Chain A
Amino acid sequence: AQSVSQHNHHVILSEAASLELGCNYSYGGTVNLFWYVQYPGQHLQLLLKYFSGDPLVKGIKGFEAEFIKSKFSFNLRKPSVQWSDTAEYFCAVNLDTGRRALTFGSGTRLQVQP
């Protein structure tokens, strides 16, 4: 069965610092990849997604992610974080096999200090 690993469980950064959150998955076939964000008190929202094409994907609020197939990774990046980026971030994978289920990582809690 496929799995998704997010190794950073809790990250604390100062405003303007750069961010990189790791995501690795364990499946050798074609995948669709997502990053969702959950701001305090709000529901899950899509940040960005990768289906095919350019492996560098740009999302909302200045976030981007790079799909590296050889490393089974889809890391999330932002060059300069803001206090409002404080949230929990989830990586998710959907196998391109006709199944619809998303497999999520355990999440990374990001705390940005002003």
Chain B
Amino acid sequence: DTGVSQDPRHKITKRGQNVTFRCDPISEHNRLYWYRQTLGQGPEFLTYFQNEAQLEKSRLLSDRFSAERPKGSFSTLEIQRTEQGDSAMYLCASSPGGLQGETQYFGPGTRLLVL
């Protein structure tokens, strides 16, 4: 399978703990995106990388959230001191780069539950 992969698929943690999610984009896609989706809502943009550079960040990305893409391939999203309001599906997407308005291809997501 050559699609976007995410790990883990599910994560249950206690409030106050730190969690880290990983995303592997489609090979040779140089753009990578993180979104968050809560129940009954569409995905909300969090941040975007072009290669290893983080170029856009949403105001939703509080200082407890950090994302990296150190070698321009896989990316990690870390949430520190988790809160119950962080419970959501975290989606990763990638795109090949180049044309404006190109298609973003989504992974299966990591479902986070904070107790």
Contact = CB atoms under 8 A, between A and B. Distances in A.
Contact of A100 (B31, B41, B107): B31
**Interface of chain B, main secondary structure:** loop
A102 interface: yes
A67 interface: no
Interface stretch (B63-71, B76-84, B96-104): B96-104
Contacts of A34: 103
A40 interface: no
Contacts of A32: 100-101
Instruction: Report the contact-size class of chain B (Cβ under 8 Å from the partner).
Output: 20 to 34
A87 to B, nearest CB: 14
B48 A101 contact: yes
Contacts, number: 59
A96 B100 contact: yes
B42 A107 contact: yes
Interface in B1-56: 3-4, 31, 33, 35, 40-45, 48, 55-56
Given A46-B103, A98-B100, A99-B56, A104 B43 contact: yes
A34 B103 CA distance: 8
A44 to B, nearest CB: 4
A51 B101 contact: yes
A92 interface: yes
B100 A44 contact: no
Contacts of A103: 45
A25 interface: no
Interface string A71-95: 0000000000000000000101010
Interface of A: 4, 32, 34, 36, 42-46, 49, 51, 90, 92, 94, 96, 98-107
8 tightest CB-CB pairs across the interface, nearest first?
A104-B42, A32-B101, A101-B45, A44-B106, A43-B108, A51-B101, A100-B48, A90-B42
